[in-house]
Amino acid sequence: MVDALRTAGHEATVLDDLSSGRRENLPSDAPLELLDVRTPEAARLAEEGGFDALLHLAAQMDVRRSTEDPLFDASVNVLGLLNVVGAAVRGGARQVIFASTGGAIYGEQSTHPAPETHPTRPVSPYGVSKLAGERYLDYYHLELGIDVACLRFANVYGERQSPHGEAGVVAIFLERLLSGRPCTIHGDGLQTRDYVHVSDVARATVACLGRPGFRVYNVGTGVETSVVDLYRALAAAAGSDEPPRHGPAKPGEQRRSSVDPSRLLSELGLPRPLALTDGLARTTAWFAARQPAAPERGE
């Protein structure tokens, strides 16, 4: 995101507690404030920093953790959002761009891919907290006149993604495949997701800067890919012929998910998103360049 902002001529100050990110993912000269989004210090930075816009990407993003600890999920995703948004608005910010969710907010879909008009019926506390964030931002728009863009991200993957903690399946599989370790698919692996490359997410976010009004956009590809097919593609890209293992299905996991990005592409004039095969090739090359050599079999 910082790279995309700088390319577009913007300056950015980063607020992050590095609970899942890493400092080396940022340009070495990027200002970084090590803060929890829920703290008074974070609010002070948002209010006194002189920012024109707030790009709110901070989140507790693990669906399973949200079901185990909905109070923590809400404290980060709802109270953390309100903490910094209210402060940024007091400090003069005129726009908020919010990282929402394109999968969890729709729940089990009746239409594939889901347009933004699809009913929002989340089936996890994570999805509920993201929907609450959108509703709060609609209030700020109506009452205070700030511009808002809620971006409903599909499953984001790509370079610099961590394979640890709240990781995406692409990063997890690649880290294990490239180190010669087995991968486990939860359930039968026929559950589908819409995988969107991080470059398309960054491009969409930057394109929303300065856009007036209250906007909701899906950020995805509209293409469903099963976990089994994703594994096959990653194994081929990594040069592995190891079959996956299968473990118990995860409770509360949606069966199918994909979002329709047509509104985003037409209104913002953006190109079609990167094809999954091309995105996986780029991502695999990045991981492979940073991965220790896999041990020889038998060692």
pLDDT in the model for residue 20: 85
Residues known to be catalytic: 126
pLDDT in the model for residue 253: 77
pLDDT in the model for residue 268: 97
pLDDT in the model for residue 167: 65
Per-residue confidence of the chain (299 residues) as pLDDT tens digits?
Answer: 999 999 999 999 999 999 988 999 999 999 999 999 999 999 999 999 999 999 999 999 988 899 999 999 999 999 999 999 999 999 999 999 999 999 899 999 999 999 999 999 999 999 999 999 999 999 999 999 999 999 999 999 999 998 886 568 999 999 999 999 999 999 999 999 999 999 999 999 999 999 999 999 999 999 999 999 999 999 999 999 999 999 998 876 789 999 999 999 999 999 999 999 999 999 999 999 987 654 554 44
pTM (global) more than 0.85? yes
* Rounded-to-integer distance, Cα 230 and Cα 193, Å: 10
pLDDT in the model for residue 250: 80
